[in-house]
Chains A and B, each alone.
Chain A
Amino acid sequence: MFTGLMANTWIAASIVAVIAGITGFFAVLRGETFAAHAIPNGAFAGAAGAFLLGVNVIWGLAIFAVAGALGIGALGSKARHDVVTALTLVLMLGVGALFVSWSTEYAEQAYSLLFGEVYGVSSDEVWPIAGIGLIAVVAIGLAFRRLMLTSAMPEVAEARGVSVRGTEIYFLIVMASATSMTVPVVGALLMFSLMIGPAAAARSVTARPGLALALSVAIALVITWLSIALSYRTNWPLGFFVGIGGALFYLIGLAARQLGGSLRPSNA
């Protein structure tokens, strides 16, 4: 279970979990849940395009993810945010549907891009994931105060000369580049589960940002490790365990808050 190809799986999945825990925390804090869903999901369409052109899938994922982030960020201030996110998402998926219809052999690979194919991660694939993960963590670390300020008090941030919109686009691009790297491992649909479940659970337990961030990463790691082990034993798809795990931890977090509730102001 820990040898050979599985060793790469454990390493790659752990890096993915750390990235998901961190970016997910800010996505939940900033109310960008829908964007967190739309960007990896839409990036999947880019993978279909890359497959059609015969180039590396990573390029298709990266281009579509960043384009999606720019689209959501740029149009988001002009119209209702959720409408723009929804339309950007369907545009990418519509193009993806077209690509898929053109290439009949793609279906098999598309399934793994949507739902993940964590087994048989080669060591060539571990390094780019580690690299992009490091870049994403550094990028978020550099802008940590700014991200916190624009999330918690946008008006104060504006008054201090911090561009709220600029910060949003910055965050969306970091999230896009991080998620595009991880899509081949955990899949477009479940990257989202791994981002939102742990972060939402952590936020429902504590209101302190540092602690919540650490907790979010920890929960993401636990879910990932448990899921790999269970998936290895049962042969059921990894995505199932990740999806259920995220929801379960959130419910546990809610229950914990109900029990210890009145001590703290609510921070839903």
Chain B
Amino acid sequence: MAGSWWWPVTSGPVLVALLIGGIAAITSGIIGVFSVLRTQSFAGHSLADIATTGGAAAFLIGVSQFWGFLLMGIAASAMMEVIGVQRRRGRDVATGVVLGGGLGFAALFLYLGTQRTSTTGASFSILFGSIFVVSPDTVPGIIAAGVVTLIAVALLGRRLLLTAISPDLARARGVNVRLTGVFFLMALAATVSLSAIAIGAVLSTALLVGPAATALRITRSPVKAIVVSAVGGLAATWLSIWLAYESYYWPPYGHGWPVSFFVVALVLAGYLLSYARRPRKAVPPRSPHEGVECSPA
């Protein structure tokens, strides 16, 4: 194995992993702040689980998982909207019903896939991710999806914050709350398919929620929170890739530890540290007129 212990990046797959992990972490960190503020962590997680269905379908027809994740995620977010995710009360149930149906199809596609190729390994790379085996052909698509999502969120960031914090005020100012919600779910679906490629569909929630929740505990300004969340997510992901690479020398020998495990561990450590840093105090909700602020996550 070439390279010194502190700079193992001499192999193509690791470079690709760092690149994809970085894009996924930054996008998730930014979108994550919005999804925590909008209390849509469940939607984020469900979109990731449903993306599994797309991943399984892609596996079945033999195209890159990423496109499966992306298309199925966007379809599912549209479905959630139709069923009624926009009402705060019924939102979790609507999300859950779409998730349940999506998982049914995932079971079918994985079954058909394993029938054809008689391997169960595919379920695992879809569910838990394997960042070191992402084909370099997918990279331009991943970069494009990340950039488009970030530009869209940059353009609509204020509107997203306003509808998250006070839908009534947003409506009074002429913002189409429902359209903003659909748009947000689509951005969420794209983000989740990025992180699903990086750390696996079922664990992409870690990158989405962890850094964002930590950042929102540390700072109350949304802009600062977005920066902290993106930087924190990026640091956790790159450190995890390095640790996973090093873990080939750890017991049990011959098996690397999965990147996704390290991401989860680091992200949770960060969240728990944010509790230690500042004791939680009750913060009275402020009017959005005084500048947009948000309560700790």
Against B, the Cβ 8 Å flags (1 = close, 0 = not) of A75-102 are 0001110110111011101110110111
Cross-interface CB contact of A241 among B104, B202, B208, cutoff 8 Å = B104
Instruction: Tell whether, in the assembled complex, residue A36 and residue B268 are in contact, meaning their CB atoms are under 8 Å apart.
Output: no
User: Contact between A243 and B105 (Cβ–Cβ < 8 Å)?
Assistant: yes
Asked whether A79 and B296 contact (CB < 8 A) given A97-B128, A240-B107, A244-B104, the answer is yes
Stretch at the interface among A151-159, A192-200, A214-222: A192-200
Within 8 A of B (CB), among A199-230: 200, 203
- Interface hit among A27-35, A61-69, A126-134: A27-35
Give the complex CA separation of A78 and B123 in angstroms: 36
Size band of the A side of the interface?
35 or more
In the bound complex, do residue B264 and residue A200 qualify as a contact, i.e. CB atoms below 8 Å apart? no
In the assembled complex, the CB of B108 is this many whole angstroms from the nearest CB of chain A, namely 4
Complex CA gap A37/B261 in Å reads: 20
Which residues 42-63 of A have a CB within 8 angstroms of B? none
Contact B120 A111 (CB under 8 A): yes
B218 contacts the other chain (CB 8 A): no
* Max count, chain B CB within 10 A of own CB: residue among A80, A90, A100, A111: A90
Q: Which of A107, A115, A190 contacts B124 (CB 8 A)?
A: A107
Residue of B121, B209, B267 with highest tally of chain A CB at under 10 A: B209
A37 & B96 in contact (Cβ 8 Å cutoff): yes
Judging by beta carbons under 8 Å apart, are B268 and A87 in contact? Answer: yes
Residues of B within 8 A of A190 (CB): 100, 103-104, 107
Using Cβ atoms and an 8 Å threshold, which residues of chain A touch B83? 254
Instruction: List residues 225-268 of chain A with CB under 8 A from any CB of chain B.
Output: 236-247, 250, 254, 268
Residue B59 is within 8 A (CB to CB) of chain A in the complex: no
Chain A residues with Cβ below 8 Å from B93 are: 28, 33, 196, 200, 203, 268
Please pick, from A80, A86, A250, the residue contacting B205 in the complex, using a CB distance under 8 A: A86
Q: Is A189 an interface residue (CB 8 A)?
A: yes
Interface centre among A97, A101, A238, A268 (most CB of B within 10 A): A97
B100 engages A196 (CB within 8 Å): yes
Tell me the nearest residue of chain B to A187, going by C-beta. B107
Task: Please report the total number of B residues contacting A with Cβ < 8 Å.
Answer: 65
Q: Given the known A-B contacts A34-B45, A86-B42, A111-B110, are A95 and B261 also in contact in the complex, defined by CB atoms under 8 Å?
A: yes
The one of A98, A241, A243 that contacts B102, using a Cβ cutoff of 8 Å: A243
CB distance from A22 to the nearest CB of B (A): 17
- Cβ contact of B101, chosen from A28, A116, A247, cutoff 8 A: A247
Which residues of the partner chain A approach B193 to less than 8 Å between Cβ atoms? none
- Whether A124 is near chain B, meaning CB under 8 Å from some CB there, is no
Cβ-defined partner of B104 (8 Å) among A91, A94, A102, A240: A240
* Stretch of B17-25, B65-73, B146-154, B252-260 on the interface side: B252-260
Q: How far apart are the CA atoms of A115 and B265 in the complex, in Å?
A: 26
CB–CB B257/A196 < 8 A: no
Do A200 and B97 touch (CB < 8 A)?
A: yes
Closest Cβ of chain B to A144, distance in Å, is 21
Is B87 part of the contact surface with A, judged by Cβ < 8 Å? yes
Main secondary structure of the interface of B (DSSP, over half): helix
Do B97 and A247 touch across chains, with their CB atoms under 8 A apart? Answer: yes
Contacting B at CB under 8 A, from A116-148, are 116
Contacts of B107 in A (CB 8 A): 115-116, 187, 189-190, 237-240, 243
Query: B184 on the interface (CB 8 Å rule)?
Result: no
Contact across chains for A83 and B123 when beta carbons are under 8 A apart: no
B257: chain A residues within 8 A (beta carbon): 98, 101
**Which B residues form the contact surface with A (CB < 8 A)?**
36, 39-42, 44-46, 49, 83-84, 87, 89-90, 92-93, 95-108, 110-111, 114, 120-121, 123-124, 127-128, 200, 202-203, 205-206, 208-210, 213, 217, 252, 255-258, 260-261, 263-265, 267-268, 271, 280, 296-297
Q: Beyond the given A87-B267, A97-B200, A250-B97, could you list 16 further A-B residue pairs with CB under 8 A, ordered by the A residue number? A: A37-B96, A90-B267, A94-B263, A98-B257, A101-B257, A107-B123, A189-B106, A190-B103, A192-B100, A196-B97, A237-B110, A240-B104, A243-B104, A246-B104, A247-B97, A268-B87
Of the A-B pairs whose beta carbons lie under 8 Å apart in the complex, a sample of 28, sorted by A's number, is A33-B93, A34-B45, A79-B217, A80-B41, A80-B213, A83-B297, A85-B41, A86-B208, A90-B205, A93-B264, A94-B203, A94-B206, A94-B260, A94-B264, A97-B128, A101-B255, A101-B256, A102-B255, A114-B127, A115-B106, A187-B107, A189-B103, A190-B103, A190-B107, A192-B99, A193-B101, A196-B100, A247-B98
